[in-house]
A and B are shown apart, each in its own frame.
Chain A
Amino acid sequence: MSGVLITAGYALDAVADVPLGHLPEAVQARAARAERITALTLAAAGAVLAAARLVPEGSTGPSPGIGVVLGTAFGCFLSNAAYQERFADGGPAAASPRIFAATVSNAAAGELAIAYRLAGPGVTLAAGAASGLAALGHASDLLRAGQADALVAGGVDALGAPLARWLAEGGLPAGRPPAEAAVLLVLEAPTFARERGAPVLGVVLGHATGFEPAPSGEDAGNGLAGVVTAALEEADVRPPDIALVVSAAPPALARLEAHALARALGPARPRIMSPKDTYGETFGAAGPLGLLTGLGEEPSGAPVLVLDVCASGHVAALVARGCQP
């Protein structure tokens, strides 16, 4: 199967004030008045689009071949909370049109599409902390189906007091400190990337997603094992050829993940790393962050297996390899 090319990647994490200085003035203005998740998305998108040299400087017309596929576990949770607080305090008359417009989870991707006139396919997906790989996978499928030439794809989740309270009350057992990140890649159809002479960081070879209903029990891990096997088959990569596995399980699901890897990889014992031990749980951004971290470790040629595992039940796997000299 033909791969999808990664022509740029950018991770924005652990920032107090979202850096906006690198953005064009009009985009800065959009980001400055937007909700936090949108500001994070615009800041990461500006950097990754510049790195990919995808949108010509000063271009104002729509680009129908370029779109956005974003994964987010919580999307507009914080906007919903802000809207609801005003509404609870002041009644229907206090409902804010500006905030209501941001109470859809595709607001961040929509603002990004408007800011850079990306008029191709636009999709926002939620799949718990596996949203990021689900988005990269769907973006790859859209490119392979010829529905777009290039996609800004990845994951983002913003943190704030209401979400922190919900997490602290056990809404989603993450097992690690929640953290905030926006991690975006530019994915391109090979012919499009070659024709425009784009830099190539890596190739997405295959992916799969699935659902694990229970953290323990007779079948726990079999679903993830099937997902890993499906991703490797699509990638045409055999388990002994994997150079690195990027682990993702919350501590409570570590045994499930280990069982799945043993079942899917057999006797192969690739190196395993866990970026979440460094970055914390970044939810929708975790998979794309794991991918960039993995490609940083194995930049040239050897396949990397990246996992997303969430207590919600969502699981995902993606196989990629780096193409840097």
Chain B
Amino acid sequence: MPVDDPDRAGALALRAATEAVTTAALDGIPPARMGVALGTTLGGMLLFERWMAREPVPRPERIPYYAPAVRLARMLACRGPVATPQLACASGTHAIALAAEWVRRGRADVVLAGGTDFLCRFVVAGFNCLRATADMPRPFDVRRRGLVLGEGAAIVVVEEEGHAARRGAAVRARLAGIGCAADATHMTAPDREGGGATRALLAALDDARLMPEAVDFVSAHGTGTPYNDAMEAVALARVFGVGRVPVNSIKGAIGHTLGAAGALEAALCVETLARGVVPPTAGLETVDPACAGLDLVYGEPRRHTVRAAISTSSGFAGTNAALVLTAP
């Protein structure tokens, strides 16, 4: 990992995307048919911090949010649609949803979709001043105090079904449905009633033409902040019924990777479909009574056949998005 790259978001994304291109054997795709949908909340912030301090910056054109996607498009010869969804902590989920829309509309055959973010002073100080951070992430736990920031990048290859079949690609999962909705209530606090999250989940299920009963696993946003997890408990119990579907949050294990989180969680859903195992929610020991309506997986991994999984994300300014993934 090129940790000394001053464009850390771009470097992380490029590493993930290069692996994705190799794993999916994407040689020979016409460049005009390949797109990039890459979400980020920080983008070139490491460069920006230096530039604001009037220090020399090697590549000032890499400061804007759109720059990591541009770097991928240039390095990996993508000449199709290239865009940077900017939906705060739901950016990675929105990026995969955008890729799905492009592929369905025939705007690209293959899209490198996901998210990237990193740790820097800017964001740590920001979440600290909102009193939203904790020493340890404890999603859905009665003792949860806030989120713990992480960093990373995740890229999934979203490909048109017929295109994948013709080139004999190994299909890992179907992206069956996408949905998004706004809370339209508050800039930083989630809607206590989970209105936007509920609408996004229902829109994704409707798009996938699945009833809530068909969903076997929910990858929650589960940041470990008091309000987010309580809001999600309301929304998930309302959509799926009380205690009916296993739920976890990987943020207890890897922290909140912001714009990358939704893409990492989509990759987790793909793994649960393939392996029939739901990993436990690290940091969760005593379920908050406010979250008792959820069948939370914690302590040990759970063997569980998963044919349909749903991943949900929420973020600042009241954004919510959900993806339905099904077995190939």
Give the one of B82, B88, B101 with max A CB within 10 A.
Answer: B82
CB neighbours of A127 from chain B (8 A): 66, 82-84
Does B167 have its Cβ within 8 Å of any Cβ on chain A? no
B147 nearest CB across to chain A (Å): 14
Instruction: Tell me whether A97 and B203 are in contact (CB under 8 A).
Output: no
CB neighbours of A96 from chain B (8 A): 129
Does B41 have its Cβ within 8 Å of any Cβ on chain A? yes
A303 nearest CB across to chain B (Å): 20
Of the 9-residue stretches B174-182, B221-229, B275-283, B285-293, which lies at the interface with chain A? B174-182
Does B32 have its Cβ within 8 Å of any Cβ on chain A? yes
Does B121 have its Cβ within 8 Å of any Cβ on chain A? yes
B239 nearest CB across to chain A (Å): 15
A121 to B206, CA, bound (A): 14
CB neighbours of A302 from chain B (8 A): none
Of the 9-residue stretches B3-11, B56-64, B302-310, which lies at the interface with chain A? B56-64
Instruction: Tell me whether A72 and B196 are in contact (CB under 8 A).
Output: no
The contact string, 1 if C-beta is below 8 Å from chain A, for chain B 168-202, is 00000000000111111111100000011001000
Does A83 have its Cβ within 8 Å of any Cβ on chain B? yes
A123 to B37, CA, bound (A): 13
Partner of A87, one of B51, B107, B125: B125
Instruction: Tell me whether A125 and B84 are in contact (CB under 8 A).
Output: yes
Does A223 have its Cβ within 8 Å of any Cβ on chain B? yes
Partner of A210, one of B70, B79, B98: B79
B244 nearest CB across to chain A (Å): 24
Does B271 have its Cβ within 8 Å of any Cβ on chain A? no
Instruction: Tell me whether B85 and A124 are in contact (CB under 8 A).
Output: yes
CB neighbours of B207 from chain A (8 A): 145, 147
A95-B128, A106-B87, A107-B316 known; A171+B66 contact, CB < 8 A: no
Partner of B80, one of A107, A119, A211: A211
A121 to B101, CA, bound (A): 13
Q: How large is the interface on A (under 10, 10 to 19, 20 to 34, 35 or more residues)?
A: 35 or more
A312 to B108, CA, bound (A): 20
Partner of A97, one of B107, B124, B129: B129
A73-B64, A119-B184 known; A104+B32 contact, CB < 8 A: no
A209 to B33, CA, bound (A): 11
CB neighbours of A105 from chain B (8 A): 65, 86
CB neighbours of B116 from chain A (8 A): none
Give the one of A68, A100, A122, A212 with max B CB within 10 A.
Answer: A122
A169 to B63, CA, bound (A): 12
A110-B316, A123-B87, A124-B87 known; A313+B82 contact, CB < 8 A: yes
Partner of B195, one of A62, A97, A226: A62
The contact string, 1 if C-beta is below 8 Å from chain B, for chain A 156-199, is 00000010001001111000000000000000000000000000
Partner of A209, one of B81, B94, B188: B81
Partner of A80, one of B45, B199, B319: B45
Does B295 have its Cβ within 8 Å of any Cβ on chain A? no
CB neighbours of A122 from chain B (8 A): 87, 180-182, 317-319
Partner of B317, one of A64, A67, A107: A107
Of the 9-residue stretches A134-142, A250-258, A268-276, which lies at the interface with chain B? A134-142
Instruction: Tell me whether A313 and B73 are in contact (CB under 8 A).
Output: yes
CB neighbours of B1 from chain A (8 A): none
Does A208 have its Cβ within 8 Å of any Cβ on chain B? yes
CB neighbours of B129 from chain A (8 A): 92, 95-97, 100
CB neighbours of B124 from chain A (8 A): 92
CB neighbours of A142 from chain B (8 A): 101
Does A109 have its Cβ within 8 Å of any Cβ on chain B? yes
Does A10 have its Cβ within 8 Å of any Cβ on chain B? no
Instruction: Tell me whether B65 and A75 are in contact (CB under 8 A).
Output: yes
Does B49 have its Cβ within 8 Å of any Cβ on chain A? yes
Instruction: Tell me whether A313 and B70 are in contact (CB under 8 A).
Output: yes
Instruction: Tell me whether A113 and B318 are in contact (CB under 8 A).
Output: yes
Partner of A170, one of B49, B60, B104, B188: B60
Does A120 have its Cβ within 8 Å of any Cβ on chain B? yes
Does A103 have its Cβ within 8 Å of any Cβ on chain B? yes
A145-B104, A208-B107, A313-B73 known; A123+B180 contact, CB < 8 A: yes
Residues 60-110 (chain A) with a chain B CB within 8 angstroms: 62, 64, 67-68, 72-75, 77, 80-81, 83-85, 87-88, 92, 95-97, 100-107, 109-110
- Rank and list the top 5 A-B pairs by shortest CB-CB distance, nearest first: A110-B317, A105-B86, A100-B126, A122-B182, A95-B129
Residues of chain B touching chain A, judged by Cβ–Cβ distance below 8 Å, are 32, 36, 41, 45, 48-49, 51-53, 60-61, 63-67, 70, 73-74, 78-88, 94, 98, 101, 104-105, 107, 121-122, 124-130, 179-188, 195-196, 199, 203, 207, 315-319
12 more contacts with CB within 8 A, not counting A114-B187, A124-B85, are A67-B181, A73-B66, A84-B49, A95-B126, A110-B318, A116-B184, A117-B184, A128-B70, A134-B81, A138-B98, A208-B107, A313-B74
18 cross-chain CB contacts under 8 A: A92-B121, A92-B128, A96-B129, A104-B88, A107-B187, A109-B317, A113-B317, A119-B184, A119-B196, A123-B98, A123-B180, A125-B85, A127-B82, A145-B101, A166-B60, A209-B80, A312-B67, A313-B82
